[in-house]
A and B are shown apart, each in its own frame.
Chain A
Amino acid sequence: GNSVTQMEGPVTLSEEAFLTINCTYTATGYPSLFWYVQYPGEGLQLLLKATKADDKGSNKGFEATYRKETTSFHLEKGSVQVSDSAVYFCAFPGSARQLTFGSGTQLTVLP
C-alpha cells in the first residue's frame, strides 16, 4: 500500500546550519509530492510541492526535488532560522486525493 517514510526526529540545529530531512515514498505511479509544516499551536500549512519527476518545489528558502529513481523528496534549506522550528511532514495524495503523511520530523533551531 501507499506509505511515506520520513527521517526520524527530533532534529536540533544551530541557526544558519544546513538542513536535510529525508523522505521516501511507496506509491502506485508517480503522484504529486508535498511538504507540509506545522508551527507550534497552528494548523498544517503547505510548504512546497512538486507535481512530476525532476520538479523542484521551493518556498521560504526550502527546496525539495522529486526523484523518481530513488522515490525520494528530501527537504533542504541552506541556512535555518529559529523561526523554522516546527514539525515537517512529507505527504502525497491517494486515489481520492486524501493525503498519506509521514510521521513528521520535529525541528528545533537554536539561536
Chain B
Amino acid sequence: DTGVSQNPRHKITKRGQNVTFRCDPISEHNRLYWYRQTLGQGPEFLTYFQNEAQLEKSRLLSDRFSAERPKGSFSTLEIQRTEQGDSAMYLCASSLGGQGGNEQFFGPGTRLTVL
C-alpha cells in the first residue's frame, strides 16, 4: 500500500498526558499537512511542511502542540498536557509541490480520546 499511513489509529489517554502521532506520506510527496476534525465538522488546518521546513501554522496550534518532519519524510505531531478539548480525529495529508490545485491525499486519521 503506497498511500498515506498514520499511527496509531486510536489513542485513549488521560488528561495531562503527552501523546505523539506519526504520519508517513506518499514517498514522492514533498508537502505534508496536519488537520484536526471534530464530530460533525470539516477538517481544520493545523500546520504544513514543505520538505523538512514547517512553513505555516494555524492559530489553532497552541503552545502545547508541536510538529516535526526531521528528514522531510515522515512527520510527528505531539500534544503535551492533553486536555479534553483535544479529543478529535487528527488527519495527515500529503501532496506534490507546484502551482495549481494539487490533490491532497489523506491518511485514515488518528482518533484521540482524552479522558
Chain A interface (Cβ < 8 Å from any Cβ of B): 4, 31-34, 36, 42-46, 49, 51, 89, 91-94, 96-104
Is there contact, CB below 8 Å, between A89 and B42? yes
Are the C-beta atoms of A97 and B31 separated by less than 8 Å? Answer: yes
Q: Which residues of the other chain, B, contact A49 by a CB distance below 8 angstroms?
A: 101, 103
In contact, A34 and B101 (Cβ under 8 angstroms): yes
Complex Cα–Cα for A33 and B42 (A): 15
Determine if B74 is an interface residue (Cβ-Cβ < 8 Å).
no
Q: B100 interface residue, CB < 8 Å from A?
A: yes
Determine whether the beta carbon of B56 is less than 8 Å from that of A98.
yes
| B41: contacting residue among A98, A100, A103, CB under 8 A | A103
Question: Min CB distance, B9 to chain A, in Å?
Answer: 11
> B42 contacts A104, CB within 8 Å?
yes
Question: How many residues of chain B are within 8 Å of chain A by beta carbon?
Answer: 27
Q: Which of A4, A96, A103 counts the most B-chain CB atoms under 10 A from its CB?
A: A96
Check B45 against A45 for contact (C-beta < 8 Å).
no
- Tell me the interface secondary structure of chain A in the complex: strand
Q: Do B48 and A101 touch (CB < 8 A)? A: no
- Whether A102 and B56, one on each chain, are in contact in the complex, defined by CB atoms closer than 8 angstroms, is no
Cα of A45 to Cα of B106 in the assembled complex, Å: 7
How far, in whole Å, are A91 and B95 apart by their CA atoms in the complex?
A: 15
Chain B residues whose C-beta falls within 8 Å of the C-beta of A91 in the assembled complex: 42
Among A31, A42, A94, A97, the most chain B Cβ lie within 10 Å of the Cβ of A97
B79 at the interface (CB under 8 A from A): no
Question: Is B21 an interface residue, CB under 8 A from the partner?
Answer: no
Separation in Å of the A45 CB from the closest CB of chain B? 7
When the two chains form their complex, are residues A44 and B106 in contact, meaning their CB atoms are under 8 A apart?
Answer: yes
Q: Are B109 and A102 in contact, CB atoms less than 8 angstroms apart?
A: no
A44: contacting residue among B43, B45, B58, CB under 8 A: B43
